[in-house]
Amino acid sequence: RLGCVHVSSGDLFRKHQVEGTNTGKLVETYMRRGELVPDHVTIQMILQRVQENDCTNGYVLDGFPRTFAQAQALDKALHERREIVDVALYINVDQEELVRRLNGRLICRKCQTPFHEVTAPPSKFGVCDDCSGELYHREDDKPDAVRRRVQLYLEQTVPLLDYYRTQGKLREVNGQGSIDEVGHAMTLALAN
């Protein structure tokens, strides 16, 4: 809808794993346990990705930055390229709902499209509607890893809300509704 690319740090790490690259091997244990991948690895991967040609008209970063060091590295790199972060979109969902969504989440091995067993099931069991790839439950959507991910989110990522708020860049949407409702709220939040 925005005419710009979706760049997800998690998707990029999962792609590295599928391709068996050194980065893929390095991040495997962190990801399985729901730990954050070290900043230098994550920052380098993202800054490299957003220099590719398809990003020249802008991009949406998803899952990045998650720490102060990442936010600062992003600002520094963008400053050098005479670019800025326009908006930081905060999709606010309470923890209970978050856990419910992750418990039932299925994603496509090939194209990473997410589904949910109850609220957004695929037309055909176990098969991606978009590319016919195989759907699976992410290892880090299991309860122990989810608990750790939520804990790290509260400790390391929530402080970034103030970082962007003080810069006047934070826009918040209520993420509790249906996919359509949240999508609509996001479109409105980005409209001006």
Q: Give me the residues that bind ligand AMP (CB under 6 A), please.
A: 9-10, 13, 30-31, 34-37, 42, 63-64, 66, 70, 140, 149
User: Closest approach of Cβ 191 to ligand AMP, in Å?
Assistant: 25
Which CB, 37 or 173, lies closer to ligand AMP? 37
User: Closest approach of Cβ 107 to ligand AMP, in Å?
Assistant: 9
* 75 Rama class: left (phi>0) / alpha (psi -120 to 50) / beta: alpha
Which CB, 14 or 171, lies closer to ligand AMP? 14
Which CB, 34 or 106, lies closer to ligand AMP? 34
DSSP codes of every residue in the chain: --SSEEEEHHHHHHHHHHHT-HHHHHHHHHHHHTPPPPHHHHHHHHHHHTTSGGGTT-EEEES---SHHHHHHHHHHHHHTT-----EEEEE--HHHHHHHHHTEEEETTT--EEETTTB--SBTTB-TTT-PBEE--GGGSHHHHHHHHHHIIIIITHHHHHHHHTT-EEEEE-SS-HHHHHHHHHHHH--
Which CB, 31 or 108, lies closer to ligand AMP? 31
In the complex, which residue's CB is closest to ligand AMP? 10
User: Closest approach of Cβ 21 to ligand AMP, in Å?
Assistant: 15
Which CB, 31 or 106, lies closer to ligand AMP? 31
User: Closest approach of Cβ 138 to ligand AMP, in Å?
Assistant: 8
User: Closest approach of Cβ 34 to ligand AMP, in Å?
Assistant: 5
